[in-house]
Homo-oligomer: A and B are copies of this chain.
Amino acid sequence: MEDDEGLKSYVVIHNIAKRHNVGTLARSATAFGVSEVILVGRRDFNSFGSHGSTSHIPFRHFYSLSDACLFLKAKGCDICGVEITPNATSVTTHPFKTSTAFLLGNEGTGLSAKECDFCDYFVYIPQYGCGTASLNVTVAASIILHHFAVWAGFPERTRDGNKFVVAERPVHKVGRNFCTETAESVTAERYLKRENDAKNGFFEDTEGSDSSNNLLDAVFGD
């Protein structure tokens, strides 16, 4: 693996049902040098478990997975599904080729056939015991991101005592747990979302909504 400062990793979160998983995932993402967390569908998330990490890592939002993948492909990323498919490669072999976006499945159902169609290839984590069919989604993602960082040769963070050094916390220009432009649009959208949730079920994907995409660009633009 040649040293390439341009290598980047991304995490794509689509239909994660348990929002506290997003906070712990953000903590792992910043630990492992992930460039951005891409949220698809729901725009709000709970940062429980992030230990403040959500203020250190950019979140970008898309309403549809196809828009998210177009964005990532334009950045030169492979889309790698994290799923135990028959043709998946063990992450321990480091099958990465370039900058990579890792697509995570729902906690209960994994990646759907439609989600799999967006993936260039799949990685899985070998298991050895008899007691669980799969790992917790945050644990799985963390192991994958750890291996990518090792493969990419990211420079290790400085330590101080028994901790890695954390940067000064950035100023929050907007509420950090909600990806949006203005408080007014949040309020309006929350109202519409509640209406929609009541009709369609709480975890309904908002794909196909006519709300504008990439609202986070204003906050976390390139």
Contacts and interface: CB of A to CB of B under 8 A. Distances in A.
Interface of A: 24, 26-34, 49, 51-53, 55-57, 83-86, 92, 110, 125-136, 138-139, 142-143, 146, 149-150, 154-157, 159, 162-167
Contacts of A154: 128
13 contacts: A27-B132, A31-B129, A31-B132, A33-B128, A53-B131, A56-B130, A85-B162, A86-B159, A110-B162, A125-B146, A127-B156, A133-B163, A139-B139
Contacts of A157: 126-130
A131 B28 contact: no
Contacts of A139: 24, 27-28, 138-139, 142
Chain A: interface secondary structure? loop
Copies of this protein chain in the complex = 2
A149 B128 contact: yes
A34 B129 contact: yes
A145 B168 CA distance: 32
Contact of A24 (B127, B128, B136): B136
A126 B142 contact: no
Contact of A163 (B125, B134, B142, B159): B134
Contacts of A127: 31-32, 156-157, 164
Contacts of A128: 31-33, 149, 154-157
A131 B166 contact: yes
Nearest to A91: B146
Contacts of A134: 31, 163-164
A180 to B, nearest CB: 21
Nearest to A164: B127
Contacts of A57: 129, 131
